[in-house]
Amino acid sequence: PSKAYNADQAALYEAFAAGDVQGVMAVPRDQRKQLFVTRFAMEYTEDVENAAFPEPGSGRSTRGTRSRTSRGGEMPGGMDMMMPGMMPGMMEGFGPAAGGSRPGGATTPREEEEQAEGGDGFTVLIEGYSPYQNIAELLDPPSVRGDQSRWGFITRLEKLAVLFPDIPYALFAKHDITHFKVETGLVDLDSQEMPAGIGVQKEIERVPQLSDRNEPTDRRAGARRREQDIIYTEQVLIDPMTNEEISRTYDIVTQKEIDSNPELTEKDLGRKKYNKLNGKELWIEKDCWFRIRAKFTWKDASEQEEATEGASSW
């Protein structure tokens, strides 16, 4: 993202580029139109139609117990903000804008022809995450047509010929799941599908753990019986720049709620909340992750190869 495409968030992008944490946090996290890349992999192939995609990472190498007092290690997270260039000659013009969730914009005849061709090209894997409340708006908004200010990241991959008329690359078969696939989900330590490298794992204390050795025995016993519903500590993922929590966490009773609700007491601090209809635990959802698998044709590959061979013969 950049102020060229999201002028209303120009201050956010400038603050991020300058490492100004307070400036970044001045915008509510779920309102920040940002995408962060944690992994980019690209492989050349002489047969893009039948080529396999680069494999996703094996997941997080360090996992801790979500709650109680167990302690786990930390894993650094990626903080490269989109949009980096995806292939040679594609370094600019990929800033996402607002939108929706489905393919955007009409495809020109030239683009349709290029997308249908196979041959030389690249297979690409892009993984990352976003704090924005609707990640689909930043990826592939619907019905944006020629309005570049509303194009998402995937829209721009689809419109390379418009953005760069002389570029030799074209997105291949976007509407065929065999050749193009997008996955998204909640950033969650319990997820087996989430890409590796997102955030930094940290244990957060939810309830101060004071000694109860001087309390009456029956009170201690009651506390033990209630313990299963109290979250004393919780393993979370945090933003390495702002230290904000970015992963899904339990929805629990906070001190602020106790102070404002006379029906609650200090004993309720950290207690998990439940859905009154189905009895399931309630959660607070934050950032989302994404994984893009795509293929690109390289229409001038043979010509460039011949030119390279000719030059080397001298």
Interval 167-210: pLDDT, tens? 899 999 999 999 999 999 999 999 999 999 999 999 999 998 76
Q: Indicate if the pLDDT at residue 130 is higher than 90.
A: yes
Other C-beta atoms closer than 10 Å to the C-beta of 238 total 18
Domain boundaries, the chain: 7-55+77-196+287-300, 200-284
pLDDT score recorded for residue 143:
84
Distance CA 77, CA 12 (A): 20
Residue 291 Rama label (left phi>0; alpha psi -120 to 50; beta): beta
Distance CA 139, CA 151 (A): 8
Give which of 62, 198, 56 is closest to 130, Cα–Cα.
198
Give which of 287, 272, 179 is closest to 227, Cα–Cα.
272
Q: Indicate if the pLDDT at residue 127 is higher than 50.
A: yes
Q: Indicate if the pLDDT at residue 75 is higher than 70.
A: no
Give which of 59, 29, 71, 56 is closest to 197, Cα–Cα.
59
Q: Indicate if the pLDDT at residue 12 is higher than 90.
A: yes
Q: Average pLDDT of the chain?
A: 78
113-138: average pLDDT: 85
